[in-house]
Amino acid sequence: MGLQEERPPRCWAASRTPYHRLVYLGVQEERRRGRVGRPRKGEAPLSVSHRLLARLEVDEGKLERARRGLGRFLLATDVLDREALPAGEVLGRYKDQTRTVERGFRFLKDPLFFTGSTFLKRPERVMALGMVMALALLVYALGEWALRRGLAETGSSLLDQKGRPTQRPTLRWVFGLFIWVRLVELEGRPLVLILPTSIG
């Protein structure tokens, strides 16, 4: 029946387990007879079936190649001086930028930003709105970066939402701290008023 060949047959398990391999052990023939006991001489079985014998093992070569590709990606910069901008700092800046940009786009898609209530039909107006949002996000990211750098250089900190000091506050949280600050002009002189946060 062509089942005694040494080449391992294809199996669905091999495609579902990319880091394993099937070790082909052979084919076992099973004969089914109509009665229990030793078969008589020349008695033909009712049916003959074959069972594939194989063992699933981890393919260390494929696993090692997959491990070498984990956690690696390319970062490019126009600063060629390695001492001025080490690789660790490049990675740190990239991660900070990624967190800021992703968080900023979530803010733009927030219902409170009223993006969903903007109805534009002309493609050029949609592109213009996207450009304005991108520029607003850029200004926001630069402001947050400058704020954090200033806190780190001066050794200062701000209290976060849990009342703990931090040198990495979000600009949105800092904006909330100024909600009680008012700039008024009294007799031609600008004054800064800090309103009480509670009444009573």
Three-class secondary structure of residue 28 per DSSP? strand
Q: Does 126 fall in a domain?
A: yes
Tell whether 62 and 108 lie within a shared domain: no
Residue 82 lies in a domain: no
97/62 same-domain check: no
Query: How far is Cα 153 from Cα 167, in angstroms, rounded to an integer?
Result: 10
Are 161 and 124 within one domain?
yes
DSSP state letter for 10: P
Instruction: Convert 36-56 into a string of H (helix), E (strand) and C (coil).
Output: CCCCCCCCCCCEEEEEEEEEE
Divide the 200 residues of the chain into consecutive groups of 10 and give the mean pLDDT of each group. 47 67 82 72 76 84 83 81 86 72 66 61 83 84 88 89 87 83 81 63
Q: Tell me if 21 is assigned to some domain.
A: yes
- Are residues 91 and 170 part of one domain? yes
pLDDT at 3: 46
Domain that holds residue 16: 12-68
91 and 162 in a single domain? The answer is yes
Residue at 97 is within a domain: yes
Rounded CA-CA distance 72/81 in Å is 22
Together in a domain, 45 and 96: no
Quick one: 24 and 99 in the same domain? Answer: no
Domain match, 128 and 163 both? yes
* pLDDT value for 154: 92
Give me the number of domains the chain comprises: 2
pLDDT of residue 54: 81
- Cβ-based neighbours of 104, under 8 Å, separated by 6 or more: 137, 140, 141
- For the entire predicted model, the pTM comes to 0.45
**50 and 105, same structural domain?**
no
User: What DSSP line would sit under 125-158, residue for residue?
Assistant: HHHHHHHHHHHHHHHHHHHHHHHHHHHHHHT--E
| Residue 49 resides in a domain | yes
**Pairing between strand 158-159 and 47-58?**
unpaired
State whether 122 and 58 are in the same domain: no
Say if residue 97 is in the same domain as residue 48.
no
The reported pLDDT for the residue numbered 33 is 73
Pairing of strands 165-166, 181-186: unpaired
- Whether 185 is in a domain gets the answer no
- Provide the token pair at 94: 């990239």
Q: What is the distance of C-alpha 71 from the center of its chain?
A: 12
- Domain membership of residue 187 (yes or no) is no
For residues 179 and 176, give the distance between their C-alpha atoms in angstroms, rounded to a whole number: 5
pLDDT of residue 103: 67
Same domain, 167 and 111: yes
